[in-house]
Structure 1
Amino acid sequence: MTSIDHSLLERRIYSVPRAAGLLGLSSRQLRSWMMPQRRVVNGISREIAPIWRPTIDDPREDASVSFLDLMELKIIRAMIENGRIKRPKIRACIKGWRNLTQGMPHYLVNKKFAPRLIPTSLAVEIKDEGVLVDAATQQCLMAEVIQPELIDLDYGSSDLPHSWIPKGWENEITVSPLLSFGEPVISKELIPTSALALAVEADGVEAAAMQFHVPLQIARLAAGFELSLVKKQRKQA
């Protein structure tokens, strides 16, 4: 991929259900991160800001997200699943970092941002609506949670990633808006895994392999990847 059309990275190509499926989440979970929530505190109903907002703000239930949004949501998932830091502090960190980076696009996966270097310039306390996040907590998130989530992203020579190679599927599966409208593909053959998996489900492995002119193991690989996404979603349902 020598020449990259960066506008494709920003194109909103994933529905919430598809984005949730690729991240192993339920649609309800993902929407809860993107939509404001109402909580009753001391008898008073309050609106709680979402943990994360897409670059193009869209409050609709059927809002879609771009590839770069999806990669930031991948970071959010890791922060929440880590379990060591509560959601109010995660929300405060994200808001504070957004202010500190002063409009840097997709700062959570941007190589210019702290997760790469953890510079002392960002080692400051963040205060937001009564929540205090010290520098040590922020550095813990950056070093132990965010940095490992950047390893399976392909940046090329850019500050922003253009491809995702999901952990456990190295050299086998690629997700990129530059390929098949962002759908996961078999890395070498560039065949969408969903199409091949559907053929396997409908006609069996051998017939699917013949239809797509691929070895049997490639058909099994596609079916296995799509099945793994379904299993992850079921666990979260």
Structure 2
Amino acid sequence: MHTDRPFSSGRFRTDGKTIFLESLEAAGEPKLLDLKEKQYVFKQVVEQSFKDLDLEGDIVTRWRPYRGKDSIVVDPTRSFGQPVASVSGVPTIVLAEAVKAEGSMSRVAALYEVEKAVVHDAVKFHEELMAA
């Protein structure tokens, strides 16, 4: 069967900023189309940013927004989709603000019963958000 469509079967992917359509050309070469900018991107470059996404089938279920680390996740089924400490579920903004109030990451870790490294990641994550 001949078709005039240059692409066959596709799936959507995201890097958390835009949505890409990944599809196969008739020649079998995978292509990524940035749907926001309406232009093709280099798959080998952009695909590296997909590594911080957890997929179930073709659906993104969780995003690890802080450098791909497992300590912080964005999960639409937890805390209304706001960034949270992955194990405890404490919103990262709560941890970051608590450090400002308490003046100590160790104290906040003890108060919220989370690892100090998670508190550190939450603080750095929000500092980077504010700088962006």
TM-score (norm. length: structure 1): 0.39
Give CA deviations for 1:193-231 in whole Å, capped at 9, x if unaligned.
111111111112233223212233332222122112112
Q: Report how far residue 147 of structure 1 moved.
A: 2.5
> Does residue 210 in structure 1 map to residue 110 in structure 2?
yes
Question: Aligned pair count?
Answer: 110
Q: Is 1:172–1:188's contact at 8 Å kept on the other side of the alignment?
A: yes
The gaps in structure 1 that reach 5 residues or longer are 1-70, 76-107, 124-132
What is the percentage of aligned positions where both structures have the same residue?
A: 28
Q: In structure 2, what is the Cα distance between the partners aligned to 1:72 and 1:213?
A: 31
Q: Is 1:193–1:222's contact at 8 Å kept on the other side of the alignment?
A: yes
Q: Report how far residue 145 of structure 1 moved.
A: 4.7
3-state DSSP of counterpart to 1:197 = helix
Q: In structure 1, what is the Cα distance between the partners aligned to 2:76 and 2:52?
A: 16
Greater relative contact order (CA < 8 Å, ≥ 6 in sequence)? 1
Q: Is 2:72–2:83's contact at 8 Å kept on the other side of the alignment?
A: yes
Q: Is 1:194–1:222's contact at 8 Å kept on the other side of the alignment?
A: yes
Q: Report how far residue 182 of structure 1 moved.
A: 1.0
TM-score (norm. length: structure 2): 0.65
Q: Relative to total residues, which structure has the larger helix share, 1 or 2?
A: 1
Q: In structure 1, what is the Cα distance between the partners aligned to 2:66 and 2:51?
A: 9
Q: In structure 1, what is the Cα distance between the partners aligned to 2:48 and 2:115?
A: 33
Q: In structure 2, what is the Cα distance between the partners aligned to 1:73 and 1:188?
A: 21
Distance 1:180-1:188 versus aligned 2 partners, 3 A rule = same
Q: In structure 2, what is the Cα distance between the partners aligned to 1:218 and 1:164?
A: 16
The gaps in structure 2 that reach 5 residues or longer are 1-13, 30-37
The 5 Å alignment of 1:82-121 reads: 108-109=19-20, 113-114=21-22, 118-121=23-26
Q: Is 1:172–1:186's contact at 8 Å kept on the other side of the alignment?
A: yes
Partner of 2:17 in structure 1?
74
Distance 1:74-1:145 versus aligned 2 partners, 3 A rule = farther
> Cα RMSD (Å) of the superposition?
3.0
Q: In structure 1, what is the Cα distance between the partners aligned to 2:116 and 2:16?
A: 34
Q: Is 2:51–2:68's contact at 8 Å kept on the other side of the alignment?
A: no
> Does residue 176 in structure 1 map to residue 75 in structure 2?
yes
3-state DSSP of counterpart to 2:118 = helix
Q: Aligned AA for 2:98? A: A
Give CA deviations for 1:59-100 in whole Å, capped at 9, x if unaligned.
xxxxxxxxxxxx57613xxxxxxxxxxxxxxxxxxxxxxxxx
> Does residue 201 in structure 1 map to residue 100 in structure 2?
yes
Q: Aligned AA for 1:214? A: V
